[in-house]
């Protein structure tokens, strides 16, 4: 599907970084697979082995419950009826629980639309970043600051060095889309000794970096999406 069809559906033009990622196949976690999954043939057996070494966007650094939506899921996204139609969300990803990551069309900051997280089971929407590039940077840095021992065990065979290998693979395919400052920060942190989950980067250091890079006055604010603006 051409991105123009998605843009027509939502009357929205995606930013250049999103368009480049889309055109390069970096937003496709399924690699064109359209058949129903079965117990024997599923995403982990059919797709992941083919993309793990040259990962698409945020494959390992989006978070254990983060997944990009497919083309079909974006254009046919089923918005909840109780969400007020005045709030214009352009979906691109979701959590396993069904919370939505989206562009928020109602606000424009420096010519771009912020990224928000919309809870599906609560009347809460949080502003995450002022643009898509900042969102990528935030997710990648949060991944190494918020990693837990159970996550290493469940998703990386209990090997923290394997986790480091995966996040470096993500950075290798994503850095061409990021500005040099973000590349330098992520490169330095991702190449630190990954000895324990506590030694990579502290939340305090992460927040200090965010204050110097992606901070703006509306970051992390919340609003209710079930009511009118």
Half-sphere exposure of residue 50, counting CA atoms within 13 Å on the CB side?
11
Is residue 17 assigned to a domain?
yes
pTM over 0.85: yes
Q: What is the pLDDT of residues 43-66, one digit of tens each?
A: 888 899 999 999 999 999 998 889
Is residue 229 assigned to a domain?
no
DSSP states of 139-173 as a string? HHHHHHHS--HHHHHHHSTT-HHHHHHHHHHHHHH
Task: Provide the residue range defining the domain that includes 121.
Answer: 3-223
Is residue 228 assigned to a domain?
no
| Whole-angstrom distance, CA of residue 40 vs CA of residue 44 | 10
Is residue 185 assigned to a domain?
yes
Is residue 122 assigned to a domain?
yes
| Whole-angstrom distance, CA of residue 192 vs CA of residue 194 | 6
Is residue 85 assigned to a domain?
yes
Give how many domains the chain has, as a whole number. 1
Among 144, 113, 139, 115, CA closest to 129: 115
Please give the pLDDT value at position 229: 58
Tell me if 147 sits within 8 A of 136, measured CB to CB: no
Query: Which pLDDT tens digits describe the chain residue by residue (229 residues)?
Result: 689 999 999 999 999 999 999 999 999 998 867 666 677 788 888 899 999 999 999 999 998 889 999 888 999 999 988 899 899 999 999 998 999 999 999 999 999 999 999 999 889 999 999 999 999 999 999 999 988 888 888 889 889 999 999 999 999 999 999 999 999 999 999 999 988 887 799 999 999 999 999 999 999 999 999 876 5
Is residue 180 assigned to a domain?
yes
Which residues are within 8 A (CB) of 178 and not within 5 positions of it... i.e. 6 or more apart?
Answer: 133, 136, 137, 186
Please give the pLDDT value at position 189: 97
């Amino acid at each position: 599907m051409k991105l123009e069809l998605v843009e027509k559906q939502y009357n929205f033009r995606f930013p250049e970084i999103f368009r480049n990622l889309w055109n390069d196949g970096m937003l496709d976690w399924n690699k064109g697979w359209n058949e129903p999954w079965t117990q024997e043939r599923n995403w982990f057996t059919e797709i992941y082995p083919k993309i793990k070494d040259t990962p698409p966007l945020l494959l390992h650094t989006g978070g254990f419950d983060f997944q990009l939506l497919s083309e079909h899921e974006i254009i046919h996204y089923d918005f909840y009826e109780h969400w007020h139609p005045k709030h214009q969300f352009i979906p691109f990803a979701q959590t396993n629980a069904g919370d939505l990551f989206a562009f928020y069309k109602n606000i424009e900051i420096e010519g771009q639309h912020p990224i928000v997280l919309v809870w599906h089971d609560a009347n809460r929407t949080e502003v995450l970043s002022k643009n898509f590039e900042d969102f990528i940077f935030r997710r990648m840095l949060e991944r190494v600051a918020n990693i837990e021992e159970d996550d290493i065990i469940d998703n990386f065979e209990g090997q923290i060095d394997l986790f480091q290998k995966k996040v470096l693979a993500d950075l290798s395919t994503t850095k061409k889309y990021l500005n040099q400052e973000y590349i330098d920060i992520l490169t330095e942190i991702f190449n630190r000794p990954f000895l324990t989950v506590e030694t990579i980067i502290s939340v305090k250091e992460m927040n200090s970096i965010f204050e110097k890079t992606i901070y703006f006055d509306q970051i992390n604010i919340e609003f209710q999406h079930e009511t009118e603006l």
